[in-house]
Homo-oligomer: A and B are copies of this chain.
């Protein structure tokens, strides 16, 4: 796993997105490494505001910005042709350009030529390392926690980041393992699991969390959902390769169908727990639940309390919204089961 070099500070490119969900890379960077984010660049029609100064590439370069980071993640990971002129402008202004789309920046002839001309770098974050092996299924030393979801965009990455920092705050050796573009940009390393050739999916997850000291926890960012008609294969490979000792199920309170797939219901939480544990048992028969991470961002305080209580009652597990309550209750439960 190579460490990424994306020179900070960043100018976050938002294109013309209309919802914060579609700007999840930009949001993630602002939420988790605000000090690296110096400005945002929005095209006409953009309705998202990350609360950063609006800067042109030239103005950003003048304030010391070193990289334009694409902060939007369109479904399917394509490069919107309307973005190219702005990226060329950034390269001309002396910025590198970094992105985590499936479509490689370096594979775009106009951009590749502009980067050469200006002596700048195109940094493709969603590029898996070479030489990923087929999974061996071998049990590795050290411990692993995986966040899994009822759907995409429910809080798997935020839950993992919050857990990793709470574990570190308690003096437990823990490493956040990024599996998606935003997590990789935040952490500076990781494997973009959904960009791996599918024969090597579980092998990539094995590489991501290698043998470690017996007390060490890898906190692995989950991807997709077992109940997602497009991405469940990615999720299953990640579960199998991770061999999690513990899982945290992430869910958005009130969401009852898969986002953008309204014909696909999210099963009841108890059913999700059964299905994920059954899947995980293939490579780790002892895989078990730590708790539930409930995203309650859309609820007022009374509704939020009710939702957390209902999830607790339904599952019998500790249940928190890490963004509102922190992950202390989950880490308490972890340390009760794996005392130091």
Interface residues of A (CB under 8 A from B): 75-77, 102, 133-137, 193-199, 201-203, 227, 229-238, 240, 261, 263-264, 275, 278, 282-283
B229 pairs with A233, CB closer than 8 A: no
A234 pairs with B264, CB closer than 8 A: no
B137 pairs with A229, CB closer than 8 A: yes
Closest 6 CB pairs of A and B: A233-B237, A137-B229, A135-B230, A194-B199, A198-B198, A233-B233
B199 pairs with A197, CB closer than 8 A: no
Q: Given contacts A261-B137, A264-B282, is CB(A198)–CB(B237) below 8 Å?
A: yes
Residue from the list B135, B196, B227, B283 in contact with A198, Cβ < 8 A: B196
* Chain B proximity of A109: nearest CB distance (Å): 15
**Distance in angstroms between the alpha carbons of A195 and B198 in the assembled complex:** 6
A282 pairs with B202, CB closer than 8 A: no
**Distance in angstroms between the alpha carbons of A236 and B282 in the assembled complex:** 14
Q: Given contacts A264-B282, A282-B264, is CB(A134)–CB(B198) below 8 Å?
A: no
A102 pairs with B197, CB closer than 8 A: yes
Q: Given contacts A236-B233, A237-B232, is CB(A198)–CB(B193) below 8 Å?
A: yes
Residue from the list B229, B238, B275 in contact with A240, Cβ < 8 A: B229
**Distance in angstroms between the alpha carbons of A233 and B201 in the assembled complex:** 7
Give every chain B residue within 8 A of A75 (Cβ-Cβ).
134
